[in-house]
A and B are shown apart, each in its own frame.
Chain A
Amino acid sequence: MSELARLNPAPVPSSRRPTAIVSGLSSDAHTWNLVFLELLLDELGFLVTNLGPCVPDDLLVAECLDHVPDVLVLSSVNGHGYADGARVVRRLREHTPLAALPVAIGGKLGVAGGLTAGQRDELVAAGCDAVFEEHADAVASFRGFLRALPVRAAR
């Protein structure tokens, strides 16, 4: 099966759809970004749990441990995403079952427009597999990231 076909929702029974958790970060109330990502992932064939905005670190960790999704998608646009993201992803990685969980983060992650290279590196060092800052083709490269995901046994 080609990767695209695998991500196509129609022929795949729901029990075998890959799973995604979409979540805002602890201090961020912005919601439209999360609604958008939920719809997008659903259209790409994922079974999506949207945790909504202002998700405390403990709740995010607990939900990830409960579901161990195929991918975790973090989004923040309020300017604190860089700090909040690095903090919670570091905590996630302390849990063995989440050590290899693919994690993407994106949005407007700092208060000064783009992040510095150092800040991006720090997000990666904290355990983010990909950082998608706001950019004309951020969503296209995000699709590429999803297509390249390792597939869990069930799929």
Chain B
Amino acid sequence: MTAILTDRIGLHDFVRRAHDAGELVVQPRMGFGLPERMRAGLVATKTAPATTVGTLTLDSYTRIGDLAAVERALAAGSDLNGYPIASHPLGTTRAMLAGVRDAGFPVQVRHGSATPSHIFAALVAAGLDATEGGPVSYCLPYGRVPLEESVREWSRCCELFAHLREHLPVEPNLETFGGCMMGQLCPPGLLVALSVLEALFFRSRGVRGIAVSYAQQANPVQDQEAVFALRRLCAELLPDTDWHVVVYAYMGLYPVTPRGARRLLTAAAELARATGAERLIVKTVAESERIPTIAENVDALTHAATRQIRPAEPLADPGADSETYQQARAIVDAVRDVDQDLGRALLHSVKRGYLDVPYCRHPDNLGRTRSYLDRDGTLRWADPGLMPIGHLVPRRRSRQVTSAGLMDALGYVRRKFDSFEESAPEPILELR
């Protein structure tokens, strides 16, 4: 690991320094119920041969605030799907982090909660200063909490979190999850818009250290266009803010073969490098099946950090002309016009269908939009519903989706990477 040593460093500064030194920062999605295992996972991440950031991914009970279910699981000795930060005693979490998290190794908390007050309280108490989420992206895909409640809670949490800077030598950092939403089948124009809007929301609540996310989709050229659009919008709309871009390795149905999974991760690293993204969150060979082991995570980090990985079809920044930029810009502008307050603007934009996520079953999501995958994996709108991009999208007759048609679209990336033709030798096999 390339140690960057100062007294203490915030996530953004760490990432920025690595980027200036030509390193892509890589990070796992790792979370275990037991503190010993969690600590072992962080230590392994820290000592992996890569420039890494550590992760505490929280379990699903903590996400929905069902702390009684955490107690029952811990008492029964059953495994949780993440680290229950609000249930382990504070001393336990501090001890778990002691000597691991330091100036050369920031640790971020990842959760997925629409009502995260208890999570923010616990992470701040544990001395952590980097986390993730957003009032829309941690609400619509994560269950049924009313959006209004999520916006209220996220406002309060952001304000509290921003005040941390008065007590810390570093700038607290918050990452948008808007670039992912349901993980798959959402055209990038909306993902980019949501990521930017959540960044603007964080900024309006006082947060100045921000990461903006984008999740790899099904076509490499469209993905590059999307990350360039995201960068351009942030440059235009986020003055006096420290921001960087984080790419998520594919968040949909993952390849089942180890080789297919590695190739998809390679493509994610190529996307990050081609677009100057500063950080990449990896997926492992176990993704399609179960929660990965520590060793599988270290493998993925090592592979993604391979310096030889270079973009296969690099795209020059298409500027403001790209389809993704234009859709995202139109959505962002329309939402900002709804209300001066960004929280209310987001709430009413969802209710009136300016923001409408395909296939999302949340009661507040209008559900008028339809998307489809073109033959080359490009995501397009079959019907943009009431989103303010009707003038940018050609009308199409949308067909009734069948269960087989849905699985076919969801499985596109899995099939493509599992059946990848043998062409160039896989770099990882040579390097290890």
Bits for A14-50, please: 1 = Cβ < 8 Å to B, else 0: 0000000000001111011011100110010000001
Question: What total of chain A residues lie within 8 Å of the partner, measured CB to CB?
Answer: 27
**Which of B81, B141, B184, B403 contacts A43, CB < 8 Å?**
B403
* Interface SS of chain B: loop
Is the CB of A98 closer than 8 A to any CB of chain B?
A: no
Closest to A76 in B: B60
CB atoms of A53 and B144 under 8 A apart: yes
Would B79 and A26 count as touching, CB distance under 8 A? no
User: A112 and B79: CB pair below 8 A?
Assistant: yes
Q: Cβ of A111 and Cβ of B291 under 8 Å apart?
A: yes
Surface stretch bound by B, among A78-86, A123-131, A145-153: A78-86
| Contact between chains at A111 and B80 (CB < 8 Å) | yes
Flag whether B295 is at the interface (Cβ < 8 A). Answer: no
Q: What's the Cα separation between A45 and B61 when bound, in Å?
A: 35
A36-B406 contact, Cβ under 8 Å, with A26-B66, A83-B78: yes
Q: Determine the distance from Cα of A110 to Cα of B142 in the docked complex, in whole angstroms.
A: 19
Q: Please measure, in the bound complex, the distance between the C-alpha atom of A22 and the C-alpha atom of B289, giving whole angstroms.
A: 23
In the complex, which residues of chain B have a beta carbon less than 8 angstroms from the beta carbon of A120?
Answer: none
Which residue from A36, A50, A79 sits with its C-beta under 8 Å from B361? Answer: A50
Report if A13 contacts B (CB, 8 A).
Answer: no
Contacts known (A36-B406, A113-B290); A27 close to B69, Cβ less than 8 A: yes
* Distance of B283 from chain A, by nearest CB (Å): 16
Expressed in whole angstroms, the Cα–Cα distance for A28 and B72 within the complex equals 17
- The answer for the CA separation of A29 and B194 in the assembled complex, in Å, is 19
Asked if B407 and A36 make an inter-chain contact with CB atoms under 8 angstroms apart, the answer reads: yes
Complex CA gap A112/B59 in Å reads 14
Query: Given contacts A27-B61, A78-B60, are A54 and B144 in contact (CB under 8 A)?
Result: yes
Which chain A positions have C-beta within 8 A of B360? 31
Residues of B near any A CB (own CB < 8 A): 59-61, 63-64, 66, 69, 72-73, 78-81, 112, 141-144, 182-184, 289-291, 359-363, 401-403, 406-407, 410
